[in-house]
C-alpha cells in the first residue's frame, strides 16, 4: 500500500479511485506492517491522548450498536487500528480521522491503550476522510448521506462516477440521494429523525406538496406505494392538486374497479376522486373528436 495519503498530496480527484482500503489503511496486513516504514506509522497510544475529529459529520452514535461493539472490544480488543493525525492545537494529542466508534467502545471497555496508524494529513484531507469514512462504514440516514456526497463533490472536486467507484455505489444512487436535499427543511428533518424512510423521501422529491404528504405519512402511516398513488393523482388534478393530494390515502378497490370499467366504456382514462359521499368524475380526452365520442355515448344512455 502506498503510505502517502491521497488528500495529503493536495490533489482533489485522486485517491478515491484506488479504493477506500488504501485511504484508510485497511490493507495493513502483517506482511505490510513488517516494513520499517509501516512500523513508523503503526503504534500504540494511551486512550486519553485521542480526541474526536472536529470534522466528524456524525453527532449521534447508535447506543445498541455501540454496546455490541464494546462487548467485542472487551473480548477481543481493537482488531483494526484507528487512523489518527497529530492534533494541530494540542501537543501530545491526536485527532481521530477514522474509527471514532472503536475509540468510544475502547473507552467503555476500559482499555488503557489502543493501536493507531499515524498519518500526516492537513485539514482538507482530514475533512474528506471523515466524510468518506462515515459514508462507507456507518448507517447514515439518507439526508446525512446526501450531504456527504454533496460536500465531497463541491469541496473536493470529485464526480458522481468517482464516488460510485470508490464507495461501491451506483451513480444513480448517489444522484438520487443528493436530490433529497431539495426537499423542504421540515421534511428533511423527518428523515433524519426516522419518521420518514428513504423510500418515502425519494417519492416526495417529485411532489408539488412534499410537506403536506410527509405530514400525512407521519400521521396516517402511509406506505411508499400509497404516496406514489397520491402523486399520480396530483398530476391528474393539475395546479389545484396539492390541497387534494393531502387528503388522499388509499383508493377503494371498488372505486378502482369502476374507473377501469368506465375507461373501457369510453376508451379513455377515467379518474374518480372523492371524500365521503361527495366526489368528482373526470374523463380525460386529448382531442375534440374524443370529446364528441364521449358526449354521443352519454346522450345515447339517455
User: Which pLDDT value is given to residue 165?
Assistant: 83
Burial class (CB in 10 A: 0-12, 13-18, 19+), 127: buried
- Structural domains present in the chain: 6-178 (3.90.1530.10), 200-250 (no CATH), 251-302 (no CATH)
User: Which pLDDT value is given to residue 255?
Assistant: 76
Interior/surface letters 8-24, b for 16+ CB within 10 angstroms, e for the rest: beeebeebbeeebebbb
Residue 275 bears catalytic tag = no
User: Which pLDDT value is given to residue 32?
Assistant: 35
Please give the grid coordinates belonging to residue 93.
Answer: 494529542
Give the Cα separation of 45 and 2 in Å (integer).
23
Give the Cα separation of 237 and 241 in Å (integer).
5
Catalytic residue among 100, 133, 162, 234: 100
User: Which pLDDT value is given to residue 244?
Assistant: 53
Give the Cα separation of 207 and 243 in Å (integer).
12
Give the Cα separation of 57 and 55 in Å (integer).
6
User: Which pLDDT value is given to residue 47?
Assistant: 92
Q: What is the mean pLDDT of each run of 10 residues along the chain (302 residues)?
A: 34 40 39 36 90 70 79 88 87 87 89 90 79 70 88 85 84 94 95 90 90 86 83 66 50 75 85 71 85 84 56
User: Which pLDDT value is given to residue 191?
Assistant: 92
User: Which pLDDT value is given to residue 187?
Assistant: 95
pLDDT of 149-193, one tens digit each?
888 888 888 889 988 887 888 999 999 999 999 999 999 999 988
Amino acid at each position: 500500500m502506498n503510505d502517502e495519503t491521497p488528500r495529503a498530496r493536495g490533489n482533489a480527484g485522486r485517491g478515491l479511485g484506488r479504493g477506500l482500503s488504501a485511504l484508510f489503511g485497511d490493507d495493513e496486513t502483517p506482511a505490510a506492517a513488517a516494513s520499517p516504514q509501516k512500523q513508523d506509522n503503526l503504534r500504540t497510544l494511551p486512550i486519553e491522548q485521542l480526541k474526536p475529529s472536529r470534522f466528524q459529520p456524525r453527532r449521534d452514535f447508535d447506543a445498541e450498536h455501540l454496546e455490541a461493539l464494546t462487548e467485542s472490544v472487551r473480548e477481543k480488543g481493537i482488531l483494526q487500528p484507528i487512523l489518527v493525525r497529530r492534533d494541530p492545537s494540542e501537543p501530545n494529542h491526536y485527532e481521530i480521522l477514522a474509527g471514532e466508534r472503536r475509540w468510544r467502545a475502547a473507552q467503555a471497555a476500559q482499555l488503557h491503550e489502543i493501536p493507531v496508524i499515524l498519518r500526516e494529513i492537513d485539514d482538507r484531507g482530514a475533512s474528506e476522510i471523515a466524510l468518506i469514512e462515515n459514508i462507507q462504514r456507518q448507517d447514515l440516514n439518507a439526508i446525512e448521506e446526501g450531504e456527504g456526497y454533496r460536500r465531497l463533490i463541491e469541496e473536493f472536486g470529485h464526480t458522481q462516477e468517482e464516488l460510485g467507484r470508490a464507495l461501491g455505489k451506483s451513480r444513480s444512487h448517489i444522484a438520487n440521494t443528493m436530490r433529497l436535499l431539495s426537499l423542504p427543511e421540515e421534511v428533511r428533518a423527518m428523515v433524519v429523525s426516522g419518521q420518514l424512510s428513504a423510500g418515502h423521501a425519494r417519492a416526495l422529491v417529485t411532489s408539488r406538496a412534499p410537506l403536506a404528504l410527509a405530514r400525512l405519512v407521519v400521521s396516517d402511516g402511509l406506505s411508499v406505494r400509497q404516496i406514489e398513488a397520491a402523486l399520480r393523482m396530483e398530476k391528474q388534478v393539475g395546479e389545484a392538486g396539492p390541497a387534494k393530494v393531502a387528503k388522499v390515502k388509499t383508493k377503494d378497490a371498488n372505486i378502482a374497479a369502476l374507473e377501469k370499467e368506465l375507461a373501457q366504456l369510453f376508451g379513455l382514462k377515467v379518474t374518480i376522486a372523492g371524500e365521503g359521499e361527495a366526489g368528482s368524475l373526470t374523463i380525460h380526452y386529448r382531442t375534440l373528436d374524443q370529446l364528441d365520442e364521449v358526449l354521443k355515448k352519454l346522450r345515447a344512455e339517455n
